Amino acid sequence: MIITFLSILSLWILWFILWQKYSLDKLREDLFAVRDELFLIAAEKKDKFGFDHQIYKEFEDFINRTIKYSHNISNLNIFLFSSFINKRFKRTLIIKSKFIYDFENYIKYRCNKELVKKLMSLKNKYEYVIISHLIRKSLFIIILLTFRMIFFIIKNHLIKINKADILKKVKIIFKKPLICMEEQAELYA
């Protein structure tokens, strides 16, 4: 009973204290890396995209606000927000921040394809960081993905092995303990 309690307590501490703090630190570290890449793109000053450009300022502010409020990012908050919006507006409303609206317009009308490619890549990295955080923060998703990976490994690797080889290995595994037990029985007899 005490061992069970200590095991559950240690798992609780591991998940809610250590893992959640690690997940939040990892999110912030990745967001700082995205912001640093944005800084480097602006430092190149290609196509008049510099530190004083409106898109740069909005993207940096967007990332900074995400870093500031990253402790509030969770699957539950996203679920509640999206369900409220779906009920309230019957899926007819598409919510975009001013930054996303300006960013899409800027991307659409720019001639410098290299700059557009870098900015889109950076926006995709930002979204990947947020999604990765949501996956890391959800115990249910982690368990689901773990079982999915185990199923994938079993399906794709164990099926390819010849069944006769598996039976031979199983016989060897079960035969060795029996041989050891027989030897020990002879010693004590």
- 59 and 74 together in one domain: yes
- 85 and 42 together in one domain: yes
- 121 and 180 together in one domain: no
- 89 and 139 together in one domain: yes
| pLDDT confidence bin for 115, thresholds 50/70/90 | confident
The total domain count for the chain is 2
The DSSP-derived string for 61-110 is: HHHHHHHHTGGG--HHHHHHHHHHHHHHHTT------HHHHHHHHHHHT-
Query: Per residue in 41-84, pLDDT tens?
Result: 999 887 778 898 888 888 999 899 999 998 888 877 777 777 77
Nearest Cα neighbor of 127 from 87, 91, 168, 78 is: 78
Asked whether 35 and 49 are in contact (CB, 8 A), the reply is: no
- 130 and 173 together in one domain: no
Any domain includes 6: no
- 186 and 124 together in one domain: no
User: For all residues of the chain together, what is the average pLDDT?
Assistant: 78
| pLDDT confidence bin for 27, thresholds 50/70/90 | very high
- 100 and 71 together in one domain: yes
User: Residue 174: which domain range?
Assistant: 162-189
- 113 and 128 together in one domain: yes
pTM over 0.75: no
- 48 and 117 together in one domain: yes
| pLDDT confidence bin for 187, thresholds 50/70/90 | very low
- 105 and 174 together in one domain: no
- 40 and 56 together in one domain: yes
